[in-house]
A = this chain, B = another copy of it.
Amino acid sequence: MVEMVHLLQDRICEAISDIDETNYREDEWTREEGGGGRSRVFSEGKVFEKAGVNVSVVYGTLRPEAAEKMGGGHQLEGNDLDFFATGISLVLHPNNPMAPTVHANYRYFERGSGEIEGSWWFGGGADLTPSYLFEEDAIHFHKVHKEACDRHSIADYRHFKEWCDSYFHIPHRNEGRGVGGIFFDDMHGSTKLECFEFVEDCANQFLAAYLPILERRKDLPYTSNQKAWQQMRRGRYVEFNLVYDRGTKFGLTTNGRIESILMSLPLTARWEYCHEVEVGTEEERLLKVLQEPVNWLGV
């Protein structure tokens, strides 16, 4: 898993570099309590306002409140707070409001020795957050992930799709964060290898799922009003990440590297009081889909 996430970080960053015609800033960091990570962030490039791809390998002893937040490990004997965690996490925010923001995260956790049933698990997923809805983009993104799921008996696209819709929900807005994708956690199927093979396959589909969408949208014309709408949608992204996201909360309570945790936030965001969309507009069309999740593949 450690090797896989590092290789994938290289591959994704190379692809972004090519498209963005810029290079990332890299920070290698260590965590006082054990382990560290490698953060790479692109800023204000040709295509991306901000794009962060982070890998980490951390271990040590959990504080009980962090242990509670992390899920999994239900069948641990005693109160073992030792942990090991590794993963890749990325959020890409394009400049063009027609091009969607994308997030992906694949992770492995272990509590105690990581040998007994329930003491290790995988989690992950990928989801798409457009400011303007192009149905073919949502369908393509879901299709690539469904195909990855279909190749592995432990993965269930329908279940993971619904899990994604319910995880990336903003209750106080009664909206989803985006048009979904897949989300899974506490995955501990029959063997570690079986789980790892699914996670690796899925993670390796990231570029195939996102790049065709980006290519289609990154150079479309747009107005300043459409840019302002994108900024407001980014405000919602901030609301979800700071108020609800489990990974962010986990990071804020485990003395994680703050700039890596918050690299998911967009460069810019906007909050207009009581903003309302007009009937029959593209903005309204997006909101309807966020308020009532769509079964994109009809399965």
Q: Which of the residues B41, B173, B235 comes within 8 Å of A258, measured between beta carbons? A: B173
Contact A272 B239 (CB under 8 A): no
CB distance from A275 to the nearest CB of B (A): 9
A217 to B142, CA, bound (A): 52
Contacts A27-B274, A231-B268 hold; do A243 and B239 have CB atoms under 8 A apart? no
Total chain A interface residues with beta-carbon distance under 8 A: 31
Of A143-151, A194-202, A259-267, the one touching chain B: A259-267
Contact B238 A172 (CB under 8 A): no
- Cβ B273 vs Cβ A25 within 8 A: yes
Contact with B along A224-244 (1 / 0, CB 8 A): 000000010001001100110
Q: How far is the CA of A261 from the CA of B266 in the complex (A)?
A: 22
Contact of A258 with B172 in the complex, beta carbons under 8 Å: yes
Distance, CA A220 to CA B151, complexed state (A): 63
Residue A269 is within 8 A (CB to CB) of chain B in the complex: yes
Cα(A265)–Cα(B269), bound, Å = 11
B271–A262 CB distance below 8 A: yes
Interface centre among A25, A262, A273 (most CB of B within 10 A): A273
Residues of B within 8 A of A52 (CB): 273
Nearest first, the 7 closest Cβ-Cβ pairs linking A and B are: A242-B242, A265-B271, A41-B273, A259-B274, A172-B252, A269-B269, A172-B258
